[in-house]
Structure 1
Amino acid sequence: MKIKVINPNTTWSMTRTIEQAAHAAASADVEIEAVSPNMGPVSIESHSDEALAAVGVMDEVRKGELDGCDGYVLACFGDPGLHAAQELAQGPVVGIAQAAFHAATLVGRSFAIVTTLGRTLGRAHDLVEEYGFTSQCVAYRACEVPVLGLDEHPDAAYEALLAECRATLDCCAADSIVLGCAGMAGMCKRLENELHVPVIDGVAAATALVEGLVRIGMRTSKRREFANPPAKEVVGLLADFTR
């Protein structure tokens, strides 16, 4: 089985952190291919960043289909380009926010999201509503560490994240913490040991979920909405992009 783990930003050092988390969650016979697109922003912290990153995600899924990938993990908490990727892929495509919310509700009644910047909390609200977890998510918090800060200053970022997680648990009835950035994957176990509640890394959750779906023969439905998109001409900046 081959699972392609796509970090939609173009920072390869973060992709390596994501790759380690995916390997740790996958069975020994699963091949993990962790990639960043060759186009797009170095970090994703806005709606504009997500829009730019979605094209790179689509390109990586297109290449993955040619390479025989069995499934895909979309390793950005905003799940940018998820539905477009589902249109292109035959196998399952799972976003890390999507997977983390499901995992959180299997280990507790309620969860809180702790993410990077406050400006991204609106997107977290949107995804919680879209995926059907409004009643289970009891807090939306940000540690105000930029995405690249997780990679460039990991010790300071960890302390800020730990402090925000503690403050979150003090002020709400969350049974678990969902980490709101793929770049936090390497901090998950340390946080769990400190906080004594489940701390959910979406990269691990999505990898395990995609593997399970592939093993039971599940594929992306091609009946209606996620049918392969019709071929059409693309002009301008994306004229060389093929799907």
Structure 2
Amino acid sequence: MTDKMGTVARAVASPNTEIIACNPPSAPVSLECHYDEAIAIPHLLAEMGDSDIDGYIIGCFGDPGLMAAREITTAPVLGIAEAAMHVASFLATGFSIVTTLSRTKIIAEHLVINYGMERHCRNIRAIDLPVLELEIKDSPAQNLIRQECQKALQEDGCGAIVLGCAGMADLAQKLSTELGVPVIDGVSAAVKLLEGIVALGLKTSKQGNFAFPPKK
């Protein structure tokens, strides 16, 4: 899945942008609940800190550790859920999120509120398959995602779809063509937003809540 995210990111990145797709070697193999996120965050933060990196993208739709990550670096840090929701709000007056397990919907709901997206998010839908099912060749996951997107357009009054899992990153363009509406993958959206922030020469503010953590 990490390799797939890297491929999707490189496909939209500018020629002079180097994408380094990596994952913590000792974290859960997939993030599907609050516990998984809590276990993963220290490993995620340990991956950061290279002064040569211009910016970071957290490749999980729960945006785990995003605020903490912004505290430990001056480089801009984006979460793929935050990026996808903002891009969707640029393209339609309402969007629905299609994710994997129903139990993760509450995580997406919290993010919608935290990012001020209640006015834009019409619904959060789940196909009720585990994340790693997306990596199985003959899995029904793609058809279920397509069907749920179609239901969202018919029932939710939305004009765009946000794919609520990094493992769906490779489906966005195909679904956009099939459905005739913007289908936003947070990985590619975050890449383009991050490139823009870096090109503007902007850094994470160290005044206020994102100041470096106090030494203890």
TM-score (norm 1): 0.87
CA RMSD across the alignment: 1.0
Partner of 1:44: 31
Amino acid at match of 1:167: K
Deviation, structure 1 residue 231: 2.8
Q: Which of the residues 189, 202, 207 maps onto 2:173?
A: 189
Partner of 2:19: 32
Q: Structure 2: which 5+ residue stretches go unaligned? A: none
Deviation, structure 1 residue 154: 5.8
1:60 aligns with 2:47: yes
1:117 aligns with 2:101: yes
Secondary structure of the 1:197 match is coil
Amino acid at match of 1:123: I
Secondary structure of the 1:33 match is coil
Secondary structure of the 2:48 match is helix
Counterpart mapping for 1:101-180 below 5 A: 101-153=85-137, 155-180=139-164
Amino acid at match of 1:41: P
TM-score (norm 2): 0.97
Deviation, structure 1 residue 167: 1.3
Q: Structure 1: which 5+ residue stretches go unaligned? A: 1-13, 233-243
Q: Decide whether the 8 Å contact of 1:145 with 1:160 is kept in 2.
A: no
Secondary structure of the 2:14 match is coil
Q: Decide whether the 8 Å contact of 2:133 with 2:139 is kept in 1.
A: no
CA offsets, 1:102-156, max 9 Å, x none?
A: 1001111110000000001111110010001101100110011210000124652
Partner of 1:206: 190
Q: Distance in 1 between matches of 2:194 and 2:43?
A: 20
Q: Distance in 2 between matches of 1:230 and 1:39?
A: 26
Percent identical: 46
Partner of 2:59: 75
CA offsets, 1:65-115, max 9 Å, x none?
A: 3xx101001110000000111011111000000000110011111100000
